[in-house]
Amino acid sequence: MKKGLLIVVSAPSGCGKGTILKQILKDQKYYYSVSVTTRQPRHGEIDGVHYHFMQEAKFEELISQNAFLEYAKYCDHYYGSLLAPIETNLAAGKHVILEIEVKGAMQIRKLRPEAKFIFIAPPSIDILRKRLEGRGTEDAETIEKRVRQAEEELAYQNQYDYCIINDILEHAISDFQMIVRAEELRTQSENL
C-alpha cells in the first residue's frame, strides 16, 4: 500500500483555513489530525472534533513522553499534534492534514522534510481584520493581538512549498486540490 502524504497547513487566524479544510475533508482520502490544546473551547467547539481540550499539566506530561510530532505555545496556550494517529493513517494510505501554526510547522519541516507545506494567506491585513471583527467572538484587544500575530506569521509564508491567497473561497479550495493532485503524481512518478 502506498503511504499517504503528510500535509501541513498554516494560516493566520481568520484566513479561512477551517472553511477550506471543511470542503477538502469531504473526500475520504484525507485524515484530519485533531490538535490538542490547553485553551478553553470557543462557543460551538466540540472536544475531539475541533480540538482535544486538556489541562496544561496533562499536556506537559505528554510532552515528557514524546507523544507529539510537534507542539508549540501560541497566544499563551499549548497546541500539539499527537504522533500515533498520524503514523497509523499515513501507513493506511490516507493523506494526513495537520492544521498548525508556523512555529509547529517549522518543527515539522526539520523532522519531516518530505511533508508538503501549504500556507493560506489573506488578501490583505485590512481584510483579515474585518474577518476577525465579523466573527464576533473576540474583543478588540484580542483581535489586535491576532492581527499582530498574523503579521509575524505572514513573514514565514516563503518557507512553505505553496501559498494560497484566500480571496475567492472556491478558487482557494480548487488550488488546494490541485496542489495535492500534483504531489500525488510527483510521488507516483518517483516510485516507478
133 exposure class (CB count in 10 Å sphere: 0-12, 13-18, 19+): middle
According to the 3-state scheme, what is the secondary structure of 66-105? Answer: CCEEEEEEECCEEEEEEHHHHHHHHHCCCEEEEECCHHHH
CATH of the domain at 24: 3.40.50.300
For residue 161, tell me if it sits in a domain: yes
Strand order in the sheet with 95-99: 30-33, 95-99, 6-10, 116-121, 162-165
What's the average pLDDT block by block, 10 residues per block, for the chain (192 residues)?
Answer: 92 90 96 94 90 95 95 86 95 95 89 96 90 82 88 94 95 97 85 60
Per-residue pLDDT at 103: 84
What phi-psi label fits residue 75: left (phi over 0), alpha (psi between -120 and 50 degrees) or beta? left
**In the chain, how many domains are there?**
1
Structural domain including 146 reads 6-190
For residue 1, tell me if it sits in a domain: no
Task: Quote the CA–CA distance of 123 and 137 in Å, as a whole number.
Answer: 22
For residue 160, tell me if it sits in a domain: yes
For residue 130, tell me if it sits in a domain: yes
Grid coordinates belonging to 96: 494526513
For residue 16, tell me if it sits in a domain: yes
pTM: 0.86
Grid coordinates belonging to 108: 515539522
